Structure 1
Amino acid sequence: MFEKVAKETDNKIASWETDTAIGTGPFSLELADQTQIILARNEDYWGKDFYKGLPPMTKIIHPIFKSNEDGNLKFQNGELDVMQQFVPQIWKMWEADKPVGTYLQDKPYFSPGSMPMFMINTTKPGLDDVEVRKALAHAVDYGSIAETAMSGYSSQVLASLVVPDGAEDAWLDRDKAKADGWTFDAAKAEEILQGAGYAKGDDGFYAKDGVKLGPWKLITPQGWTDWNAALEIVAKNFQAIGVDASTNFPQQAQTSTAFQNGDFDMGCWSVAGTNPAAPWQRFSDVMSNVDMAPLGQTAYRNFGRWENDKVNDLLETAAAAPDDASKKEAITALDDLYRAEVPAFPLMYRPDEFFEFNASNWSNWPTEDNDYAPPMFRGAGNDWLFKLKKIGG
């Protein structure tokens, strides 16, 4: 195809545009609308010799739901075979004799691969004060978020931008994260505010020099149930220490635009998960001062517009580290700056991809006891598409 395009465009492929979906994978696009996406098996797939055949399913139908609850109900009832969305207390499904499973058989059921981040707009009066940001980090009950909002799928959050207990663990300095960071301590949060000169007014909220801490809105998309629940906990935590905060859950597109344009107070949003460039990419997402976008213009990183004259040099050093020892040293230096300035902080850990299957229609799903493929929907996870077996087929 590209040979044909090259001839038609006189080798100017970079300027060529098409609205026709193209691809060379085992499935091709058959239909896409507001309710579903349907992929049809590519009978001429080039990889069928490598995989020793084509996938056993002729179509993949991806329904589009308005909320997690809709999808979870369909999944529990066997109307979905596999999915990667958040399911509260998924173990209750198999306790109710539903043929549901996850890759890991025991808690936390999923390996950590990302950290939903509590974004702070550091251009806002009050939030531009690092002592306020430190107090907010101490005010959050991370354990409650892990057990309720995340159904126990998250381990205890550390004061670090490195994801622990997984592929990135080698870059984590746990001792520093514990000694120089924060944990849930409401009394400590108020102590920090008072030490920074803030005092409670008659309304019960802290203020200093006419700047009141709030009212602030905490945003994240409507229907993202775990993030919605997490922010409800955070809002109550902030109210409890004398910071005026409440939740607001717009639609996803509106939320994304608000973060990118800096039109928000605080909220929960995503940064880079575990990947070959992590954790460097995550530090860049949260802290980079390269090409800072003014308020009202689209930013693609550092949505909180946190400014610092040291971070870019540290990011360059980490990106160019020639060996593991120097990379850890550079990552630790970035983490030290992150803890000192608190431009944002993680609320929980989340798997890079949830992997949940319902074995009503298909068997031979990959699990830790049947580990022929990883629990992924890309890359090496392609293997399980070829090795599932139709029940009764």
Structure 2
Amino acid sequence: MEVPVEVTVEVPVEVTVEPIEEPTVAYERGETLYTTGTAWSPPSDWNPVTNWNYATGVIGLLYETLFLYDPLANEMVPWLAESGEWIDDDTYEVKIREGMTWSDGQPITAADVKFTFELGEQFAGVPYSSLWDWLDSIEQVDDYTLQFQFSDPLYHQWSRYLYMTAIVPKHLWEDRTEEEVTAGANENPVGSGAYLYETHSQDRMVWVKNPDWWATELLGLEAAPKRIIDLVNRSNNVSLGMLLQGDIDWSNNFLPGIKDLVTGGYGIEAYYPEAPYMLSANTACLWLNLTKPPMDDPEFRKALAFSIDVSQIVDVVYGGIVQASNPVGLLPSEGWLQYLDEDLVAEYGFSYDPDQARALLADGGYVDTDGDGFVEAPDGSPIELSVIVPFGWTDWMESINVIARSAQAVGINVQPEFPDFGGYQDQLYGGTFDMAINNFGSGLSNTPWTYYDWLFRSPIRDQMTNGNFGRYDNQEVFDLVVELDKTPLDDKAAMQEVMSALQEIQLAELPVIPLWYNGAWYQANTSVWGNFPSAEEGAPKYFPIFWNNYVQFGALLALTELEPAEAE
């Protein structure tokens, strides 16, 4: 019994482009960069504190962070901060650049940074309020120097706050109520970044270049486009048509047929000129509900892992634009992959091997007792499992068809199901699912601690909204995740010791099955702009993503190296 998989990946010969709302102002095309791939609803929020629903570019283009993070070089890039360092085990000192101003002309000082972080102490609804569980105080030494004093420093978490927390102007925010800070739209925003709010409509966000951006004078940087217009997604197919017609310059959509787009003379570039075409952004994992048999049996989980033909997902579903994951799921970035324990992977890892899957099932007492082609549990009870992804997520829908077919081929009765997103989320967070694909917390960062904190989030609650959806309960693992967080990032030997301990348990128990790396979807049309980020020799090397909370990974700096196409 098999689940059919039918996938067609090609570039449409004719693409119908739906009419979009015409702007009230005609912008000079050669000065305007059109982007898409982030927003799926009209822009309505410019609040960088509530960092999950803001308009594309609010953090990165409008508001800025103390540091940027460059995942390609695995480097923290000083930004609003001129420098930052641990001056002892419990004290982190930040020096702010002198000579920076907000877009209203007021100076940016250490007082703004202190105020921003103290919002987390003042209001429980601020996303980084938990920082104050282990941050004691912030001392402003002078106008440009701060010292953060920690009671119990969590080095990895803190390093992320440095490039994920947008600094806001104290003089405009200090009189705001908790509701305004945590739920306000922040209309008429004043920031520090390369762009200013100009206007928005139902289908677009329009940013205009800040003529007084501090980085021009202090760092010699200037963003090339006078305007950035981020278009709200209608569908990936519509975005594909607009990209081909040159109405979009920079797309962060998942688009089919990348090989044909890049090699077919359409003037389209991806990050790599050949497979996999895309950088990797996160790890798609098969989550197993360990509170339900037979998923509570590690040997069954291993059999399932050996049964899955990931190459079918990589090559057929995605057309070669993603990569298969290593068995522990660490992303292929220098910051993570340096800690992959190859010896453990060689000893305990898994790969597609249906014969090994069948042998593991037989050894575990899983046999087909009634002749229907599917194994029963050791106690003779039938095994009927489902694997879920949200309806409409077509690449994941096709992927779980492959997973179900692979499992069925070795005798495990798995059926794909496609609830709407709300139903999917309810099952995942509430722990009522059997199996599910998810990648929400596996995204790229400067430390693999973020990945393991997601895999092994504790404590286990009725609702698990931020990871450990399968309810894997192992105090040794939970303690190792905390130990990793408390290990200085520059102590690589100590980090490797903890990382190896985590990977050994992970591979032995296999509570989650990493399968493939979702791509950092990126396509550029070179008819108007050139010198886009690319792996090609001589091209800028930046992580080319405008998704929320990713602009500070490289897209901002890439804007300073774009050139008009005719100048190439």
Q: With structure 1 as the length reference, what TM-score do the two structures score?
A: 0.87
Deviation string 1:276-331 (CA, Å, 9 cap, x unpaired) is 12x2221121123x22112xx34311011111231111112222234111111110
| Counterpart for residue 486 of structure 2 | 320
Deviation string 1:114-168 (CA, Å, 9 cap, x unpaired) is 2111111112221122221111101001222222223223444322132246432
* Correspondence list, 1:1-393, <5 A: 2-7=170-175, 17-21=183-187, 22=189, 24=191, 25=193, 26-28=195-197, 30-31=199-200, 33=202, 36-43=203-210, 46-47=213-214, 49-50=216-217, 52-53=221-222, 55-66=224-235, 68-164=236-332, 166-200=334-368, 201-208=370-377, 209-214=379-384, 216-270=385-439, 271-277=441-447, 279-288=448-457, 290-294=458-462, 297-322=463-488, 323-351=491-519, 353-368=520-535, 369-377=537-545, 378-379=551-552, 380-391=554-565
Contact in 2 for aligned 1:373/1:383 (Cα 8 Å): no
Aligned length: 382
Structure 2 CA distance for partners of 1:372 and 1:59, relative to 1, 3 Å:
closer
Structure 2 CA distance for partners of 1:43 and 1:320, relative to 1, 3 Å:
closer
Q: How far apart, CA to CA, are the structure 1 residues paired with 2:511 and 2:449? A: 16
Q: How far apart, CA to CA, are the structure 2 residues paired with 1:325 and 1:43? A: 44
Contact in 2 for aligned 1:29/1:40 (Cα 8 Å): yes
Deviation at 1:182, TM superposition (A): 1.1
Equivalent residue of 2:376, what SS?
A: strand
Equivalent residue of 2:338, what SS?
A: helix
Q: How far apart, CA to CA, are the structure 2 residues paired with 1:80 and 1:367? A: 18
Q: How far apart, CA to CA, are the structure 2 residues paired with 1:15 and 1:142? A: 45
Q: How far apart, CA to CA, are the structure 2 residues paired with 1:283 and 1:225? A: 27
Contact in 2 for aligned 1:373/1:381 (Cα 8 Å): no
The one-letter amino acid paired with 1:160 is: V
Larger mean CA deviation between 171-180 and 381-390 belongs to 381-390
* Structure 1 runs, 4 residues or longer, greater than 6 Å off: 12-16
Deviation at 1:355, TM superposition (A): 2.2
Deviation string 1:322-366 (CA, Å, 9 cap, x unpaired) is 411111111011011111111111111233x22210113322222
| Counterpart for residue 79 of structure 2 | none
| Counterpart for residue 158 of structure 2 | none
Structure 2 CA distance for partners of 1:28 and 1:259, relative to 1, 3 Å:
farther
The one-letter amino acid paired with 2:475 is: D
Q: How far apart, CA to CA, are the structure 1 residues paired with 2:190 and 2:408? A: 51
Q: How far apart, CA to CA, are the structure 2 residues paired with 1:249 and 1:74? A: 29
Q: How far apart, CA to CA, are the structure 2 residues paired with 1:118 and 1:41? A: 42
Equivalent residue of 1:347, what SS?
A: strand
Q: How far apart, CA to CA, are the structure 2 residues paired with 1:223 and 1:303? A: 22
Q: How far apart, CA to CA, are the structure 2 residues paired with 1:8 and 1:355? A: 38
Deviation at 1:176, TM superposition (A): 1.5
Q: How far apart, CA to CA, are the structure 2 residues paired with 1:47 and 1:226? A: 42
Deviation at 1:63, TM superposition (A): 2.4
Deviation at 1:178, TM superposition (A): 2.3
Q: How far apart, CA to CA, are the structure 2 residues paired with 1:312 and 1:363? A: 47
Q: How far apart, CA to CA, are the structure 1 residues paired with 2:289 and 2:300? A: 12
The one-letter amino acid paired with 1:356 is: Q
Superposition RMSD in Å = 2.7
Equivalent residue of 1:171, what SS?
A: coil
Q: How far apart, CA to CA, are the structure 2 residues paired with 1:382 and 1:14? A: 28
Larger mean CA deviation between 108-117 and 91-100 belongs to 108-117
The one-letter amino acid paired with 2:234 is: F
Structure 2 CA distance for partners of 1:29 and 1:120, relative to 1, 3 Å:
farther
Larger Rg: 1 or 2?
2
Contact in 2 for aligned 1:311/1:334 (Cα 8 Å): yes
| Aligned sequence identity (%) | 24
